[in-house]
């Protein structure tokens, strides 16, 4: 159980006798509960409180926000568990934390301290450039990044910490476009398509039947204004991650609140106009055509 310090795979000590591990419905269920919400990156318990007050539906506990990771460089790792625990104490909303790609021990630690969601994130430095974490070994659910339609992605990768929405828009368009292509495909063609995108056939088939991803789809990377958030929602995302966009701006509390409102009322331009007024300075932003910018989204598939 949480806090005992012992990490056991396949859910030893599950609450009900009927299920030894967390069923898929419970894992996906939490993501479904987060739909239509905003998940904010926070680095201190105080920021977590600001996010909660603003109406964030979850917080992502980090050591540094992506914008700082960009600015300072170095190896970015999982946050200090102590910090994550403090943030968890401070708020009642779900707390997520990032683990490096392929670093399953970091994920085990996060599971042990009772985090609600693990983000296997390309923003942190890679631990394994070929393999991802085997999520079936864990009872906690995972989020992971995607650029195209593949496997079971949760989060289209924008360029984190840039304040530039272009990459996120491109990836969401790419995912949605692929789904539209897939929906018009003959069933026989799906085999080849699944092979081409290296995704399990049954998931691809399920996506085709549903006409949408069989998982919850959150936009991330570069969301800095309420309009950015509403844009991602109108493109068909289920919710939005906001990283550096809130706490790197002039008035975090106000901006956080405005983005939360924009996600709920994403299709109502009048409300969007109202909440976008007088938010103070937005984060500076980075133009991605600049050669010096490292592209995090290219780090893994």
Partner 1 sequence: MAIGVLALQGSFNEHIAALKRVGVKGEQIRKPEQLQNVSALIIPGGESTTMAKLAEYHNLFPALREFVKMGKPVWGTCAGLIFLADKAIGQKTGGQELIGGLNCTVHRNFFGSQIQSFEAEISVPEIVAKEGGPPSFRGVFIRAPGILEVGPEVQVLAEVPVPSDKAAKSDPAVENVEENAASEQKVIVAVKQGNLLATAFHPELTADTRWHSYFLKMLTEINQEASSSTSLSSEDLSFSEPPKYDLPIFQQ
Q: What's the rounded Cα separation, in Å, for the pair 185 and 33?
A: 32
Q: Which stretch binds partner 1 (CB under 8 A): 49-57, 159-167, 218-226, 283-291?
A: 49-57
Out of 8, 49, 85, 197, name the contact with partner 1 by CB under 8 A. Answer: 49
- As measured in angstroms, the least distance from the Cβ of 54 to partner 1 is 7
Residue numbers annotated as active site: 98
- As measured in angstroms, the least distance from the Cβ of 298 to partner 1 is 29
Q: What's the rounded Cα separation, in Å, for the pair 172 and 149?
A: 9
Q: 73 to 102, contacts with partner 1 by CB under 8 A? A: 88, 90-95
- In the three-class reduction of DSSP (H, G, I as helix; E, B as strand; rest coil), residue 301 is classed as coil
Closest listed residue to residue 95, CA positions, set 166, 150, 34, 13: 34
- As measured in angstroms, the least distance from the Cβ of 252 to partner 1 is 15
Q: In this complex, which beta carbon is closest to partner 1, that of residue 69 or of residue 99? A: 99
Residue labelled with tokens 């932003």: 285
How many residues bind partner 1, per CB under 8 A? 58
Q: Residue 283 CB: number of other CB atoms within 10 A?
A: 23
Environment class of 115 (CB within 10 Å of its CB; exposed 0-12, middle 13-18, buried 19+): buried
Our finding on whether 1 is near partner 1 (CB under 8 A) is: yes
Q: Which stretch binds partner 1 (CB under 8 A): 137-145, 170-178, 194-202, 293-301?
A: 137-145
Secondary structure element (H or E) that encloses residue 118, with its range: strand 117-121
Our finding on whether 26 is near partner 1 (CB under 8 A) is: yes
Q: What x-and-dash track marks residues 168-207 binding partner 1 by CB under 8 A?
A: --------------------------------------x-
Q: What's the rounded Cα separation, in Å, for the pair 46 and 83?
A: 11
Please say whether the beta carbons of 107 and 118 come within 8 A. Answer: yes
Please say whether the beta carbons of 92 and 64 come within 8 A. Answer: no
Our finding on whether 116 is near partner 1 (CB under 8 A) is: yes
Residue labelled with tokens 């109502």: 268
List, in sequence order, every beta strand (DSSP E) within 147-277. Answer: 155-156, 218-219, 239-242
Per the structure block, which two tokens stand in for 193? Answer: 């398509």
Our finding on whether 120 is near partner 1 (CB under 8 A) is: no
Residues that bind partner 1 (CB under 8 A): 1-2, 14-16, 18-19, 22-26, 28-30, 32-37, 49, 52-58, 88, 90-95, 111, 114-117, 139-141, 206, 210-212, 214-216, 257, 260-261, 263-265, 268
Known binding-site positions for D-glyceraldehyde 3-phosphate? 173
């Amino acid at each position: 159980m949480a806090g005992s310090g012992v990490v056991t795979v396949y859910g030893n000590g599950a609450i009900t006798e009927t299920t030894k591990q967390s069923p898929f419905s419970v894992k996906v269920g939490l993501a479904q509960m987060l739909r239509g919400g905003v998940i904010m990156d926070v680095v201190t318990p105080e920021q977590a409180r600001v996010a909660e007050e603003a109406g964030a539906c979850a917080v992502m506990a980090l050591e540094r926000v992506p914008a700082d990771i960009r600015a300072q460089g170095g190896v970015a790792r999982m946050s200090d568990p102590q910090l994550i625990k403090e943030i968890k104490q401070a708020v009642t909303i779900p707390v997520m934390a990032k683990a490096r790609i392929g670093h399953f021990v970091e994920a085990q630690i996060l599971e042990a301290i009772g985090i609600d969601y693990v983000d296997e994130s390309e923003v942190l430095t890679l631990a394994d450039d070929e393999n991802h974490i085997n999520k079936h070994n864990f009872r906690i659910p995972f989020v992971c990044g995607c650029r195209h339609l593949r496997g079971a992605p949760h989060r289209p990768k924008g360029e984190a910490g840039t304040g530039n929405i272009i990459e996120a828009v491109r990836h969401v368009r790419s995912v949605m476009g692929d789904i539209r292509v897939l929906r018009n495909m003959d069933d026989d063609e799906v085999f080849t398509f699944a092979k081409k995108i290296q995704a399990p056939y049954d998931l691809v088939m399920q996506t085709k039947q549903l006409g949408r991803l069989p998982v919850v789809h959150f936009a991330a990377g570069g969301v800095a204004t309420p309009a950015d958030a509403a844009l991602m929602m109108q493109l068909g995302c289920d919710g939005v991650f906001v990283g550096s966009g809130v706490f790197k701006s002039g008035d975090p509390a106000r901006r956080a609140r405005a983005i939360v409102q924009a996600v709920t009322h994403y299709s109502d331009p009048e409300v969007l106009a109202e909440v976008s007024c007088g938010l103070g300075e937005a984060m500076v932003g980075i133009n991605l055509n600049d050669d010096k910018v490292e592209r995090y989204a290219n780090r893994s598939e």
